[in-house]
Structure 1
Amino acid sequence: MKLKAHHDLDIGNHALFAALTDATRWERAAMRKGVEVLRIDGGDELAAGAVWQVTGLVRGKLRSGQLKLRMVEEPSHLLFDFESPMFTGVFVTRLFEMSARRTRVALEVEVRPRTLAARIVLQGARLGRQKLEGRFHARAGVVLRDLVGQLRGG
């Protein structure tokens, strides 16, 4: 199942890419939401091959998974793989410079089931796909606008 969203932001491409690749910022943000994040590849820099173990509550149950940065193309492309006991998938972020101070962000998530139970969960999600895509688009917009606000100091 694929979900897509895109947002136009009033910020330069390079500044936005630098913020999106600030791993420490995202680790702290996840921890503030109650998610345990552990970098297991031992590095500090965000480069291809970076791996995180992520554990947190999802719909009332403790879930864990692994997130791996597969590709970084500065200043326009990030590709992550994720894996959990029930699902695998890919998360792609693309940045398109529209002008010196305006950037379009295109987000895409593809989720694939690993088990029969996961297949049933995804089938249910497909039935409510339009609502799910709307929530994904809205939540991505909130996160991106908050990020831009932080970068501007407000």
Structure 2
Amino acid sequence: MEFSTREDIEAPNDRVFAAVSDFNAIERQVMRRGVEVRRIDDMTAPGPGMAWHARFRFRGKSREAEVTMTEYDPPQAMVFQTISGGLETRTELEFVALSRSRTRITMSVHLQPKTLSARLLVQSMKLARGNINKRFRVRMADYAKDLEARLKAGG
């Protein structure tokens, strides 16, 4: 099962990529939403092999996930592999400069169930696909607006 969306941001590609790859800031944002997150690698610079362990609540249960960056190609792309229980997720972020001051971010998430319970989860998501797709697009649009506002403010 796959979800994808794209958003255009009024900012140069290199600045957008730098903001999206500010992993310390992203970790803080995620923690404010109630997710426990910690780095589990010892890398000093961003790149493939960066990894995080996350603990969060989903559908009333405590869940854990391992997130690993598998590709890092500034300022064009980042790819993450996530394993949570029997569900593997591949998240791809692509950055395309539309002009000197405009960037398109394309995000795609591919879910691959590996266990029966993960298959049931994905099957229930397929039944609610329209609603999930809408929420996914709205969240990405909100993130893009916030990012654009931060970059315009010089942050």
Both structures adopt the same fold (TM-score exceeding 0.5)? yes
- Residue identity opposite 1:53 in structure 2: H
- Partner residue of 2:42? 42
- Does structure 1 conserve the Cα–Cα contact (< 8 Å) formed by 2:77 and 2:94? yes
- Partner residue of 1:10? 10
Classify 1:28/1:44 alpha carbon distance in 2 versus 1 (closer, same or farther; 3 Å).
farther
- Does structure 1 conserve the Cα–Cα contact (< 8 Å) formed by 2:11 and 2:151? no
- Measured after TM superposition, the shift of residue 42 of structure 1 is 1.8
- Measured after TM superposition, the shift of residue 149 of structure 1 is 1.4
Q: Distance in 2 between matches of 1:56 and 1:127?
A: 24
Where does structure 1 lack aligned partners over 5 or more consecutive residues? Answer: none
% same residue: 31
- Measured after TM superposition, the shift of residue 45 of structure 1 is 2.3
- Partner residue of 2:95? 95
- Does structure 2 conserve the Cα–Cα contact (< 8 Å) formed by 1:22 and 1:46? no
- Residue identity opposite 1:41 in structure 2: D
Q: Distance in 2 between matches of 1:8 and 1:150?
A: 15
Stretch of structure 1 that moved more, 143-152 or 92-101: 143-152
- Partner residue of 1:110? 110
How large is the RMSD of aligned CA atoms in angstroms?
1.2
- Measured after TM superposition, the shift of residue 147 of structure 1 is 1.8
Normalised to the residue count of structure 1, the TM-score between the two structures is: 0.95
Q: Distance in 2 between matches of 1:4 and 1:122?
A: 16
Stretch of structure 1 that moved more, 113-122 or 65-74: 113-122
Runs of 4+ in 1 over 4 A off after TM superposition: none
Q: For residues 74-153 of structure 1, what are the structure 2 equivalents within 5 Å?
A: 74-153=74-153
SS of equivalent residue, structure 1 residue 63: strand
- Does structure 1 conserve the Cα–Cα contact (< 8 Å) formed by 2:93 and 2:106? yes
Per-residue CA deviation, residues 65-89 of structure 1 (Å, 9 max, x unaligned), is 0000001111110000000113101
- Partner residue of 2:70? 70
Q: Distance in 2 between matches of 1:46 and 1:61?
A: 32
- Residue identity opposite 1:133 in structure 2: N
Where does structure 2 lack aligned partners over 5 or more consecutive residues? Answer: none
- Residue identity opposite 1:124 in structure 2: S
Normalised to the residue count of structure 2, the TM-score between the two structures is: 0.95
- Does structure 2 conserve the Cα–Cα contact (< 8 Å) formed by 1:39 and 1:52? yes
